[in-house]
Structure 1
Amino acid sequence: MKTKNALILFLTAFIWGTAFVAQSVGMDYMGPFGFNGIRSVIGGIALLPCIFLLDKLGLSSKGTGSRKDLITGGIACGVLLFAASSLQQIGIQYTSAGKAGFITAFYIVLVPVFGIFLKKKIGWKVWVAVVMALAGLYFLCITESFSIGKGDVYIFFCALLFTLHILTIDYFAPKVDGVKMSCIQFFMAGILSVPPMLIFENNSFSGIMASWIPLLYAGVLSCGVAYTLQIIGQKNMNSAVASLILSLESCISVLAGWAILGEQLSSRELFGCVLMFGAIILAQIPDKAQEKEQKSFCENLQS
């Protein structure tokens, strides 16, 4: 494992984890659609110089697809990103940043399960991870009186949509430049946020100015910088190790919520976090068949 790459990926996870705090603070002054819309547009703008930089450094992926594939993939991902991030932003109004981070991370476990519909094989580790994750969600979201918070429900459906979002990226990524597709998806998500923002919200200029720090953090750092760091960090890096480092995002969201917002989790919720994190790690450990497949794929690339 390359130390430099590992540090870059950890910085990515740190930015994504602390972005939950920025999203939570931003909700004090703006509605969810307004915050997400402006954040997404900022993210798209932030990626423009990143695309130029990656092209200059030779780190961009040309892909095998056409321009049509790039636009189609960007629009499809943008629609799903808009829906998922909207539910997340609405849900974070009613739950803590730490819990939101862990429930959102449930998509890491769901992705291989949903892969069944794409005729992908999954091993026993994933099924064990699913059971652990469901148990973790139970302790994290459902109280001793068997009630569940409204915000947790929104975040759970957000995780389901992020699962579809990841699978869509998985389909288009080999065909197109991932960073350019991401740039398109951010602008698409921003455009889709405008109608509900105008209909359901009354965002003032003063509210936007009061949220400028969370907006810039969530837009520039979380969308633009972190995504670019992920591309650079994962280059020539073992994918399983990279995924494990990036999954620290969920733990960082809890620590950031505690350190910055003073959020507290009960022992029951902390136990749920432990189970969830264990499931996330287990779901990302490749079995022997996957290792052989990855080895064969790498050998074919080199030949």
Structure 2
Amino acid sequence: MRHTLPIAPQFYVTAPQPCPYLDGRMERKLFTALHGEHAQVLNDALSKQGFRRSQNVLYRPSCADCAACLSARIRVADFKPSRTQRRVLKRNAHLRRNPTAPWATEDQYALFRRYLDVRHSDGGMADMDIFEFAAMIEETPIRSRVIEYGGPDGLAAVSLTDVFDDGLSMVYSFYDPDLAESSLGVFLILDHVRIAREAGLPYVYLGYWVPGSRKMGYKANFNALDIYKDGTWQDLGDPAAHEATRHPPLVDPIAEQVARISLPEARRG
């Protein structure tokens, strides 16, 4: 006889620390380990509920006084690039896409260091050495790819990308800071929409959009954008309508948040 049982991961909460997106706020994350034979199924299920992957951990912001971090994804079938975005595609048409296995290289790390030094010198990754970089790229228990983009002068951009059952998730991207005028960050997203469309996948997951954060504001420039809010995916609509998430009247206790997570089932003999 065969029957199904729920996959039952253990959830934990991090200690509060300064928020990287909104000044004067404290960040707290709800997280669980991602490993074993059901890692892909669990990742697919929780990613549809606002979780993100970092190596072998799935996490979701769960701050005590704020709910501003909203998971965002592009609806591939509905997406139409703006005039500015079409110019970005044309400007970068010479770049060659090269999907590879999740394996770190010295060229990737050199580009990564230049990107951090110019764009995020005060960020949480600023001191990441080559071994930590390799762990970020290679420690993945699910289907992942490294997508490199090469130009006449060598490696121009890289994206670490997860493959879900319903889309692509851009885990982390970086690019040549000397090519800032090429808008490579925008181009990477546009090309992932193109890859997803070719593969018949309905979504491209972009991580968190945060109202009021300059770092994350660019995501609202992509049309056909859904956000995960109040337990459901919904069209972004007017970005200003979500400002109240920074000052919610109530944030549910952790136990209630965990109880509402929908877990996948594992088949048993």
TM tier, smaller: under 0.3
Structure holding more strand per residue: 2
Structure holding more helix per residue: 1
Q: Scaled by the length of structure 2, what TM-score is found?
A: 0.25
